[in-house]
Structure 1
Amino acid sequence: MTPEPSAIGWLRSDVSGDLRDWDEGRIRWLARKLGYDLRRTVVFDRLTDRPVHRLRMLVSRLEVDAVIVPSIGHFDGGRVPADLVAAADVITVSPEQTYARYATGLLPGME
């Protein structure tokens, strides 16, 4: 991992539609604003098999701290998957909100 927190962007092209470039720009903007090293933006579509599983594997492989998405609408059912939040913070651009791994406010091992 890098000294600054790292993140990946993620979106579904079928949800973004014609606003895909706009959504990717907003992901980059929020990453900069929050001080994340945005490693890459991953784009899936409605035909991607097991998208959350694939995203979770990418989070593990790249050892990123966060996943930045345009909105929760990019997740099936409009809900942030708990197993993804268990691996990394999930940050939405609109509305700007963080679904944190450590909701207690304590660091791991300090409970």
Structure 2
Amino acid sequence: MKFRPTAVGYLRCDVSGAQQQWDEDQIRSVAKRMGYDLAKIVVVDGRGNERPLVGLKTTVTRLGAEAVFTASLAHFPGEDVPADLVRSVDVVTVSPENTYARAGASS
């Protein structure tokens, strides 16, 4: 049995809107193609939510995830990968497909 690292998906439903299911399908597809076991997709409504990433970070820690997949940078505040997130996991965007490698461990 081959080990596959755990990943978590992340979407803001206020950003995805009517294409939420498409975004979820794309996250699943890219995670599978990259060899991850996508354990869960965290979906939050960012409207009026001052801290939409709290649930994501809790889930990442609880599951011991190695990566977070999201549809695009638009799902993060300021359309930028949060520094505290990329310190602990790789962040992968689906569109455009890009990997932001974790910066936490130094040799």
Q: Name the TM-score, length of structure 1 as normaliser.
A: 0.87
Q: Which residue of 2 aligns with 1:98?
A: 99
Q: Which residue of 2 aligns with 1:8?
A: 8
Q: Which residue of 2 aligns with 1:87?
A: 88
Return the letter of the residue paired with 1:42.
Answer: V
Return the letter of the residue paired with 2:80.
Answer: R
Deviations 1:8-66 (A, max 9, x none): 11100000000000000000000111000000111001244512232112111110000
Once the two structures are aligned, what percentage of the paired residues are identical?
49
Decide whether aligned partners of structure 1 residues 62 and 48 sit closer, same or farther in structure 2, where only a CA change above 3 A counts.
Answer: farther
Distance 1:32 1:89 in 2: 15
1:90 partner SS: strand
Taking the TM superposition and a 5 Å limit, the aligned residue runs for 1:1-111 are 3-46=3-46, 47-102=48-103, 108=105, 111=107
Distance 1:77 1:49 in 2: 13
Structure 1: 4+ residue segments shifted above 2 A: none
Distance 1:40 1:53 in 2: 15
Return the letter of the residue paired with 1:10.
Answer: Y
Deviations 1:65-94 (A, max 9, x none): 000000000011101100001111100001
Q: Confirm or deny: 8 A CA contact 2:42 2:55 kept in the other structure.
A: no
Distance 2:68 2:34 in 1: 12
Number of residue equivalences: 105
Distance 2:103 2:3 in 1: 19
Deviates more, 1:43-52 or 1:27-36: 43-52
Deviates more, 1:51-60 or 1:26-35: 51-60
Return the letter of the residue paired with 1:67.
Answer: V
